[in-house]
Structure 1
Amino acid sequence: MKTVKLIATAAMGLESLVAKEVRQLGYDDVTVENGKVIFNADHHAIARCNLWLRTADRIKLIVGEFEATTYDELFEGTKALDWEQYIPENGKFPVVGKSHKSKLFSVPDCQSIVKKAIVEKLKQRHGIANWLEETGAEYKVEVALLKDKVTLTLDTSGAGLHKRGYRIGQGDAPLKETLAAALVQLTNWRVDEPFHDLFCGSGTIPIEAALIGQNIAPGFNRSFAAEEWEFISSSVWDKALEEAEDLANYDQPLAIYGTDLDPKVIEIAKDNAIEAGLADLVSWKQMQATDFHSQEEGGYIVSNPPYGERLGDKKQVEAVYQKLGKVLKNYPTWSIYILTANENFESLFGQKASKKRKLFNAFIKTDYYQYFGKKQ
């Protein structure tokens, strides 16, 4: 099977996690750059990566790369590529674009030139005199210019990979599923240890932990753009889904708990868990975070509490951080992981983190404070 060059895009700060996941799927030829992980693989990787990558945003197929400083060079470079290998006669191919530090900075112009060049190439190759119908499956093209280097890709994912298909409701400031999965993967949690989210909102962190715990492919519940593509055999998708079904460990017992002060979001979390096929796997409870108590040793707390960004909320949120620090001091064997944009978190919590990692929650710059529990 023909090898293709793929890009798994990643939120800033998550590139190394995405690369690790790509390698775990057996693809070793990996290059990590800002916001992306590039690797060579066969067509099976398109299906497998879309299904399995928990922390990547989307999977793109690289059609070609070249330098261009004029619109003529952009047109000719695009037209020289083998578009007919990917896009059939009736394929629909909208073109999106971005340009950074390049002479060709007008994105609409770049998009329209790329579109024209692909139309010319396809008409030539498919022997069409007039216009292309574009009534078939969608092959979304992206033209990305960076320092005059052009990268042309096809988006294999369709909707972003964070759209797992289980979120039927959400709270005020929902955490992206890909970031929630990353927060879990950045811990040393093992499936036989208790896992609590004390500010669970609509349940994203506990649901992602349960999917990880039972080794359920995060894309199992949704479809992808490339499923409709002619050049990828449907047997590739069947095989990938079969593999995902075989590797899922639905019998794995888990002790995962999600609590929140708001009873409405607890109901939403329950519905989302049912939609994810996890019905009774997570225990949900309406509770104040500072009322946390457990008889167990060596558990994990992973939470994305309110940040107190609005002025009126700040004092209230900081009071919760202080109280939480006092409560959790009583659990020295527990590991605590908190994502927040509040830069005074450590002093409010009353303890310096074992480790800190910069992450972005949407466009908010946050720190992931990690407190490692004492070994029992």
Structure 2
Amino acid sequence: MTQQLELIATAAFGLEAVVSRELKSLGYADQTVEDGRISFQGDAAAICRCNLWLRSAERVLVKLAEFETTDFGELFDRTKDIPWADWIPADGAFPVRGKSIKSQLHSVPDCQRLVKKAIVEKLKLSHGSAWFEETGPEFAVEVALLRDRATISLDTSGVGLHKRGYRKLTGHAPLRETLSAALIQLSYWNADRHLLDPFCGTGTIPIEAALIGKNIAPGLEREFAADSWPIIDPALWKQAREEANDLARRDQELQIIGTDIDKEALSQARYHARQVGMENDIHFQQKAFADTSSPRKYACLITNPPYGERMGEQEEAEALYRQMATVFATLDTWSIYVLTSHPNFEELVEKKAGRRRKLYNGRIACTYFQYPGPRPPRAKTIDKPAEKTDDSASGASE
């Protein structure tokens, strides 16, 4: 397959600019950015490279059709018009998932059944078969309706891109890998700077930082749905993985520390670091946040502390935030970044953020409070945001 395709990288709310910048760094600058998705042009090789490299995207889709519709009959006919046999072989599995937002065709199950039936009818004609066992590779179909506009696409990723493969143990309230990577990319941290996460939990922020610091593609150790698609030459996947291995800076020295008061969480963090070969690059230590101190200057602190969302936990979380006022005062040359859902965070830490960004941690509405520190002396490029292109991408106040 050599033709250009319409591809979509899906993203959580608030991370569209981050994913857009990642795509541009991969060479895909022809984009349309919308809520929750970035549409761009690319060939089959782009499917491989984007799945391997995108750190903050949720999935990579191939857009097969987009059209206005308020009628089930039209949805069926337009779906049947798609050349499904070009993509789905006779033994292919093609589950259909759907969503509908502010559309007259609001019944998602009905839309899914209709799209499935249309695909079956088209494949009957193309493959000359009356029944499909669906025992082969998976071609997950998505029908998304937004304000009466339908988008029909195929999911090339399979399991979501946040599933890097290293986090095999789950602790309390884990932060998704994709969101963790975004927090780092929205900061002033780079591989030459010191990084601390004082609420590291099972280690996701430090590990994602290590992957970024060593330029290791986050999807390098996993497979994707499109790995087994006959339409994509296996040589393209091989080339993409060889490219990723060649670009990795595995000898890059890092200064990353994760601390937490929870001994069991730290045990899981060390296990996860071993899964990606980072056990010697990240130092995990049991420590209460109140004991946080450092003689280092111009470092970065990036963290996702407890929110106090559950009954009885709010007072404990607020006590931690009040401690931040004292701790942060001792780190007066640091750049500090905190993700929390607490509406009075700035009052509790007694400091207004230089920048704020609205994000979602799962279904929890949060704000990413950013306190950029002073520029380090004699290293003027070190405090420049990595790959920043504009205020929207660098986390400017919204």
Relative to the length of structure 1, the TM-score reads 0.98
Cα separation, 2, equivalents of 1:29 and 1:321: 43
User: Over residues 143-178 of structure 1, what are the superposed CA-to-partner deviations in whole Å (9 max), with x where a residue is unaligned?
Assistant: 111222211111100111001100011221000000
> How far 1:278 sits from its partner (Å)?
1.2
Counterpart AA for 1:92: A
SS of 1:138's partner is coil
Which shifted more, 82-91 or 230-239? 82-91
> How far 1:277 sits from its partner (Å)?
2.0
Cα separation, 1, equivalents of 2:311 and 2:155: 41
> How far 1:121 sits from its partner (Å)?
1.0
Cα separation, 2, equivalents of 1:146 and 1:347: 39
Partner of 1:292: 292
- The CA RMSD measured in Å over matched residues stands at 1.0
> How far 1:127 sits from its partner (Å)?
2.3
Pairing 1:1-376 to 2, within 5 Å after superposition: 1-128=2-129, 130-376=130-376
> How far 1:186 sits from its partner (Å)?
0.4
Cα separation, 2, equivalents of 1:59 and 1:53: 9
1:194 and 1:299 in contact (8 A); partners too? yes
> How far 1:133 sits from its partner (Å)?
2.7
Cα separation, 2, equivalents of 1:267 and 1:188: 28
Cα separation, 1, equivalents of 2:344 and 2:83: 54
Cα separation, 2, equivalents of 1:310 and 1:50: 35
Cα separation, 2, equivalents of 1:315 and 1:149: 46
Cα separation, 2, equivalents of 1:164 and 1:182: 15
Describe the shift of the 1:124–1:311 C-alpha distance in structure 2 as closer, same or farther (beyond 3 A). closer
SS of 1:356's partner is strand
Cα separation, 2, equivalents of 1:238 and 1:256: 32
Cα separation, 2, equivalents of 1:99 and 1:307: 31
User: Over residues 325-348 of structure 1, what are the superposed CA-to-partner deviations in whole Å (9 max), with x where a residue is unaligned?
Assistant: 112202211111011111111111
Counterpart AA for 2:184: V
Dislocated runs of 4+, deviation >6 Å? none
Which shifted more, 236-245 or 61-70? 61-70
Counterpart AA for 1:77: R
User: Over residues 72-110 of structure 1, what are the superposed CA-to-partner deviations in whole Å (9 max), with x where a residue is unaligned?
Assistant: 111111111111111111111111111122222221221
2:188 and 2:372 in contact (8 A); partners too? no
1:63 and 1:83 in contact (8 A); partners too? no
Which structure 2 residue ranges, 5 or more long, are not aligned? Answer: 377-398
1:270 and 1:279 in contact (8 A); partners too? yes
Counterpart AA for 1:65: E
> How far 1:374 sits from its partner (Å)?
2.1
> How far 1:132 sits from its partner (Å)?
2.0
Counterpart AA for 2:40: F
Counterpart AA for 1:41: G
Percentage of matched positions with identical amino acids? 52
SS of 2:312's partner is helix
User: Over residues 21-60 of structure 1, what are the superposed CA-to-partner deviations in whole Å (9 max), with x where a residue is unaligned?
Assistant: 0111001110000000000110001011110000000111
Which shifted more, 100-109 or 27-36? 100-109
Counterpart AA for 2:81: A
Relative to the length of structure 2, the TM-score reads 0.92
Partner of 2:387: none
2:293 and 2:330 in contact (8 A); partners too? no
Counterpart AA for 1:44: A
Which shifted more, 168-177 or 239-248? 168-177
Equivalences, count: 375
Counterpart AA for 2:352: K
1:199 and 1:259 in contact (8 A); partners too? yes
